[in-house]
Chains A and B, each alone.
Chain A
Amino acid sequence: MTADLVLIDTGIWSAFFSKPASPEKRAVDALLDEDRVALTGPILAEVLRGFRRTDEADWVASRLRLAHYLEPNWEDWRSAAALGRQLAAAGHDVPLTDLVIAALARRVQAFVFSSDPHFDLIPGLKRHQKTSLAG
C-alpha cells in the first residue's frame, strides 16, 4: 500500500494552495483523487505555518488529517543522520527535514514529490513527476 503513496513536500503544497493554474495544483488534485497523498510531521507543520488565519489553518489541518500519515521511526532518524554525513562528505549541506523525509520515503518505498534540488542528491529515492516540474 505505502509503495503507491506520494510524500508531497512543502513547496508543492505552497503552489497547490496559492497558484490555481500551476502544474503542482493539477498534480496534487490527481493524487487526492487517487487517495495517494501522504504526509509527515515536518511537512505538515511547514504547510500549516503558511496560513495567516488560524481558522483556515485549522480547516486545512482537519482535511490533511485524512491523508495517509507516515511517522518517522528510530531507524529513519539514524538513516537521516547517516545520509547527512554521507552528503556532507561530498560537500552538500542538506537540511535535516529533507534528510528525514528521504529516509522515511526510502523505508516505506513511497514516492517524493518535490522541486527541491536537495532531493536530487539522494540515492535510491523514488520521485514523483520530477521531470515535468523541472521545466
Chain B
Amino acid sequence: MDVTTLTLIELRDALRSGTVTSVEATRAYLNRITAHDDAIGAYLTVDAEGALAQAAAIDAARAAGQSAGALAGVPMGLKDIFLTKGLRTTCASKVLEDFVPIYDATVVERLRAAGVVVIGKLNMDEFAMGSSTENSAFKKTHNPWDIERTPGGSSGGSSAAVAARLTPGTLGTDTGGSIRQPAALCGIVGLKPTWGRVSRFGVIAFASSLDQVGPMGRTVRDVALLEEVIAGYDPRDSTSSQREVPTGLADLPRGADLRGLRVGLPREYFPESGLDPQVSSAVYAAVEQLKALGAEVKPVSLPHSPLGVAAYYLVATAEASSNLARYDGVRYGHRAKADDLYGLYARSRGEGFGLEVKRRIMLGTFALSAGYYEAYYRKAGQVRTLILRDFEAAFSEVDVIATPTSPTTAFKLGERMDDPLQMYLADIFTISCNLAGLPGLSLPCGFDNRGLPIGLQLLGRAFDEPTLLRVGAAYEDATTWHTRAPAEPFVARAGGAA
C-alpha cells in the first residue's frame, strides 16, 4: 500500500489501527518529496531528521498505550508563514532567510498537540503577497497538473504539495484568496474560516484585519478535520472568537441531500467579460448538481462587489506597510552593512524585500500618510461596511452563495509577472469574503479542456463553516472531481490551446 494515496482521514485511521506507523508514513512522504519536489518546488525546508525522530516518538508513545491525539503520527508540510520553534521560517523572504523562531504559532502548537509530525516548510509568495507563488524570494512552485503553470498563491506551495501528494493535507493563510485560489488552481479543497475563528498568533502578519488561517486538503472532510483541530479561542489573540467550535464536522454522513438549503447566485460574480466561459459553465453545472441534491437556487445581488479590489488593495497594503516595519535589521533578520542608522534601515529593507513587497509597502505608506488617510484607508473601511451589508442582505434570503473561485484556471508561470494589475484581478472573486470577514470554501468542480482544475467557491454567514462543509461534502459525495490526481511524473501539458 502506498500510504501517500490515502486521504488525511484514511491515514489517520490507518495510523490508529496500526496498519501503518508514523515512521513509515513520514518516510513515505519524505521519499516522495525526494522523488518529485525537484519538479514541483513546493518545499523551502525539509526536516527529515527532526520529522523521523518526532514520528518515532509518537510510535513509541502509541506502543506504550499512551493516548494519542486526533492526528497522531500524521506527517505534514506547512506554509512557511507559520512560526515553527527551532525550524527556519522565512515567509519566502530574504529578510527572514536565516530566521529560526523561538516559539510555535498557536496553530502549530495545536497540530503538534494533535500528534502532527512537521516534515518541512512550504513555498509561498513573499509575505503572502501574490497570487502565483512567483514572488517567493527562493524558488518557483509548479502546478502538478502542468508544471509550466502556477499553482496559484500565495499558498501555492501548500496547494501544489497537497495535489502532488507531498503532504496529506496542510494549512494555508488567506488574506484575499490565498487559500481558495491556489486550492482551485490545483484541484483541491481549501477553507478560509471566518475572521477570528482561528488564532493568528505566530502567523507572520500581512494584513491583520484580513488574514485568516485555514485548512487545505484532498477532501472536504479532511479539511473539516483540520479545521476542528486548529479553530477556537486563543488568549494570545485578542481578536480570536470565544464561540465554541462545532465538533464532528469530519464525520458528516455520506450521501446526504440538500433539501431546504437555499443557494444564492450573485450576478456580479458571473460577468460577461473577464470570466473564462469554461469556468462559468463548470460552476453553473455544479449549481445544477446542488439543485439535484434538493437545494433551491436563487439569484442574489452583491452590488458593491466591484469596489472590492480597490478597497482591498488599500486596506491590505496599508496594514502590510505597518506590519512589515519591524523588519529593520536591528534585532533579527537580514542586516546590511551601513555607516549610519538611515543606511542600515534603507539597505537592510532594500536588500531584504522583493519587488512586490516593496510596491505594496509604498502603496500602503502612501495610503496612510497625512492628508490621504481619509480619502483612502478610511474610505476603504466604509466600502468594507457596504460590502458586509450586501452579504447580510443576501444571507437573509439564502444560506450559501455559490461563485467561481478564480476567473481562470491556472495561468502560465511568468505570464502576469509584468502586469501586477492583471495579477490583482485574479483575486476578484475571493476578496470580498475577506473584506467582510466571512467564511469561504473552494472545492473542485471540473476541469477545462487543457485538463486544468476548476474551483467552486461557497460563501457563508459568519461562523457558519458547518453549513459550507455540509454542502461541500454533499457535493463531493455526488461527484468524482476530487478523486482525480495529476499524472506522474509531473510534466508540462502540451495539449489544448495556448
Partners in one complex: no
